[in-house]
Amino acid sequence: METKSSLPVTQSVRLAAAGCLDLMSFEFPTDDPQEKELRNVCVNTETLRIFQGRLSPTEAQLFASMRHNPEDKCDPPNEEARIWDKYDDVLIEQAAALGWRTYESHLILARIAKWSDFDRNGIEKLKRFNEAIKRHAEVKRNLAQLPFTEPEWYQTRKNALQEIKTLQKKLSAQVAARNRLPNLTTLYATIRAEIADMPLAYRYLSSNLTSFMDYLKRESILTSKFVTNQTTPADVLNGWFDYQGSTADGKSRQIISRIGKQKRQ
């Protein structure tokens, strides 16, 4: 796990709570208490960030009250169930992107237990959740495509593009100063270090560092062109998103562009 580097545990947890740690670097479950808590914070942060971004101010206030005062009853009574249904939709959706890593969240495990034992729609939710976990495994094997249906993808793409522009500017300046292109091993190490050392500046790249580096290593010629300004940040981003989502060339950009048009309507 990349976050077990030289970072103190407390700093790692802060970065996790800020959404700046790479969930996909979790390679297998762990029994280490500190690492388990770190993973829990990471997954909770991601799912709650997306969920809370979809709530109205009234819903957000209600959800905060539900979490901090679970014994209090909502008025009307069905409002609490409606909010939890909305959260369940998000975590099932995210299971297709995170796969088994969703099990690292205590909150998500509690929801699964609720579905199994009490929820009126629990069986249907379990089916959808398991299908999402299966979808994740299929995407990694190029047997299925990541849905790219979440409304957040439009803003995510804008944020990621800006970070890649910043990254290219810094790397190309370094290469120009040396007046020579480093070998690929050195180049990959430089790219990784630049992102890992500044997680708050590269929020999306740092939280998807494993995927980004895997893509660049697969596209070695593109990497060299990227650091010498022979290709655009948009080309790198589009190729990377297609790689992440197992889509055809340019398909992810088309899907996300449609999301943007829907947001403007």
pLDDT at residue 34 is higher than 70: yes
Burial class (CB in 10 A: 0-12, 13-18, 19+), 202: buried
C-alpha distances (whole Å) from 1 to each of 39, 49, 202 are: 10, 23, 19
Check residue 115 and give its pLDDT.
97
Whether 190 is in a domain gets the answer: yes
Check residue 6 and give its pLDDT.
43
**pTM of the entire structure?**
0.88
How confident is the model over 44-90, as pLDDT tens digits?
Answer: 999 999 999 999 999 999 999 888 887 766 667 788 899 999 999 99
Whether 145 is in a domain gets the answer: no
Whether 146 is in a domain gets the answer: no
pLDDT at residue 109 is higher than 60: yes
How confident is the model over 216-252, as pLDDT tens digits?
Answer: 999 999 999 999 999 999 999 999 999 999 999 999 9
169 and 126 both lie in a single domain: no
**Of 97, 114, 140, which closes a domain?**
140
What mean pLDDT value characterizes the chain? 91
What is the average pLDDT across 179-188? 92
129 and 160 both lie in a single domain: no
Q: Which domain holds residue 30?
A: 2-140
Whether 147 is in a domain gets the answer: no
197 and 222 both lie in a single domain: yes
Whether 14 is in a domain gets the answer: yes
112 and 170 both lie in a single domain: no
**Of 88, 115, 140, which closes a domain?**
140
Check residue 75 and give its pLDDT.
65
95 and 212 both lie in a single domain: no
pLDDT at residue 35 is higher than 60: yes
**Of 96, 117, 140, which closes a domain?**
140
170 and 197 both lie in a single domain: yes
Check residue 28 and give its pLDDT.
87
The pLDDT-based confidence of 5 (bands split at 50, 70, 90) is very low
Whether 193 is in a domain gets the answer: yes
Whether 180 is in a domain gets the answer: yes
211 and 82 both lie in a single domain: no
